[in-house]
Amino acid sequence: MDADVTDSAGPPSDPDRPAEDKPQDRSRDRSREESGRPEDETPGGTTSEGPSPEGPAPEDGAPQDDAPQEEGPAAPEADEAAAETGEGDSTEGGPAESGPKAGAEGGPKAAADADGVQTWADRPKDGIVAARKSHWLRWTALAASFLVLVAAGVGWWMYKKLDGNITTDTSAAAELKAYEKERPAPVVMDAQNILLIGSDSRAGDNRKYGRDDGGSQRSDTTILLHLAADRKSATAVSIPRDLMVEIPSCSTGDDKKSREQFTQFNTAFELGGTACTIRTVERMTGIRIDHHMVVDFNGFKGMVDAVDGVEICLKEPIDDKDAHLELPAGRQTLNGEEALGYVRARKSLGNGSDTERMERQQQFLGALVNKMQSNGVLLNPTRLYPVLDAATKSLTTDPGLDSLRDLYDLVRGMRDVPTEQVQFLTVPRQPYRNNPNRDELVEPDAGDLFKQLREDKPVAVVPADELEEAERDKESAQDGKPDDAGSESPTPTPTYSGSSAADDLCKQ
């Protein structure tokens, strides 16, 4: 039977009127009817006897909206209206909750408020934005992961390529191990002494630079590089190739041994290669050589080209056919090929001596270091890669420096050294007394220099003219003055003729 519901807000509904006439009125009546159900009403539309659990019965005269309904089936018109509007009992079997909008509005909004479920049309905008944001975040994360994988793959390929460029000199390591007992012991463990050898082999691609003597190699340039333990200074000492020294007995390429002899320095490399050169330097200086590198012409050219050339200044034009070099006077930037001719030229520059050539080599290397540091090459992996690629292609090292990681650690240790503390000098020498075309060490100056490096103590360098002027002033100050044997003063830092990477070649 139909429920008789009294609406305190308007006239009662007309039970004889068809359900299709006023769905909104019918929905309003249905909502009011539902709002008057006790909470323990069964899904079938019946109510249990007893007072409402929501509170005491209303006083006389109060609206009767919350009065309990008669038992019986729900009106078919109400069920039909509920089906049209989406209203109904909750899925859990309980009644739909009433709210302020349930009695005032019909349609989907009432259904959403009654059932606690929203339609897509009524979904909050922030929820849609959050869904879109989550969607894009997933795609962004996927793209970032892909880029990371690609970058890792490229980085690994670059690492393996550079690492594979380096040639390991295992034969030198084996021979040095055989003569371990005669080698000097390290004095300062964290300091590093590296022997840099520039090979002037004319074999292969280097044939155009001179006669090929069956692929034999000679040390055109040899530099002892000392890195201080605190990595605040680096001192590069050039050893003249014509310096007369004692060369020990060394293993030759034909499984024989050379005799011990007193001859010019670069003979050691020609006789016994790197190991013989290292043993000769160690015997002469008392300094333990920790690592060595052999770089040929192409490696040097590639490094200069990788930094887009090096700037120099020429007081006079150069035209040297042997060095394949023709340059005008003045400031200019040399590419790799021109730079190689500049550091190799001898007869057409200055007095044609090897001494002046070594000075040019030192100054050019200083300018190269300055270019790499000032342009941020050592701190920029993108710019450092071409330099390392050029260097490693023509680089032969001992097993301790034959990996890219080892070389990177070495470069990283040097990148913070101030350019004014990257110093270049030549071992103190003078014309050999028996042959002016050869050199010999000047003592005790050479011995003092080796001692400073061996013990990792500072060394100062100044231009040659400044050093000569300082020595003249010192001699004139001592003339006519007795020595003060009772006074003590700290030992001054030994000063030698040389240059630093901070020097501007165009201002000299």
pLDDT digits (tens, 9 = 90+) for 132-191: 667 777 777 777 776 776 666 656 556 666 777 788 888 899 999 999 999 999 999 899
pLDDT at 46 exceeding the cut of 60: no
Burial environment of residue 126 by CB neighbours within 10 A (0 to 12, 13 to 18, 19 or more)? exposed
Question: Average of pLDDT values for 118-143?
Answer: 66
pLDDT at 335 exceeding the cut of 90: yes
pLDDT at 194 exceeding the cut of 60: yes
pLDDT value of position 281: 97
pLDDT value of position 6: 42
What does the pLDDT look like over 292-326, one tens digit per residue? 999 888 888 888 998 889 988 888 888 888 777 88
Closest to 172 in 3D by CA, of 283, 296, 269: 269
231 near 413, Cβ under 8 Å? yes
pLDDT value of position 80: 43
Distance CA 363, CA 371 (A): 12
Backbone torsion region of residue 84, taken as left when φ is above 0, otherwise alpha when ψ lies between -120 and 50, otherwise beta: alpha
pLDDT at 394 exceeding the cut of 50: yes
pLDDT at 42 exceeding the cut of 50: no
pLDDT at 499 exceeding the cut of 60: yes
Question: Average of pLDDT values for 120-141?
Answer: 66
Distance CA 190, CA 203 (A): 38
Average pLDDT, the chain: 73
pLDDT value of position 183: 95
Residue, of 38 and 345, whose pLDDT is higher? 345
267-285 and 170-178 helices, crossing angle to 10°: 50
106 near 52, Cβ under 8 Å? no
pLDDT value of position 217: 63
Q: Which two tokens stand for residue 92?
A: 């859990």
Highest mean pLDDT range out of 227-231, 356-360, 485-489?
A: 227-231
Of the given ranges (124-133, 286-295, 378-387), which has the lowest mean pLDDT?
124-133
| Alpha-carbon dihedral angle through residues 321, 325, 330, 332, given to the nearest 10 degrees | 170
pLDDT at 108 exceeding the cut of 60: no
Highest mean pLDDT range out of 363-367, 398-402, 451-455, 496-500?
A: 451-455
Question: Average of pLDDT values for 49-73?
Answer: 44
According to DSSP, residue 292 is labeled: E
Instruction: Give the strand pairing for 291-295 and 192-199.
Output: parallel
Confidence of residue 482 (pLDDT cuts 50, 70, 90): low
Confidence of residue 57 (pLDDT cuts 50, 70, 90): very low
pLDDT value of position 153: 63
Radius of gyration of the chain (CA): 47
Query: Per DSSP, which regions of 248-352 are E strands?
Result: 261-264, 291-295, 310-314, 318-320, 325-327, 330-334
Distance CA 180, CA 135 (A): 67
Percent of the chain with pLDDT over 70: 62
Question: Average of pLDDT values for 202-217?
Answer: 49
pLDDT value of position 369: 86
Residue, of 377 and 206, whose pLDDT is higher? 377
pLDDT value of position 387: 82
Question: Average of pLDDT values for 43-60?
Answer: 43
pLDDT value of position 214: 46
pLDDT at 265 exceeding the cut of 60: yes
pLDDT value of position 449: 96
Percent of the chain with pLDDT over 90: 27
Q: Which two tokens stand for residue 457?
A: 């103590």
Distance CA 336, CA 301 (A): 4
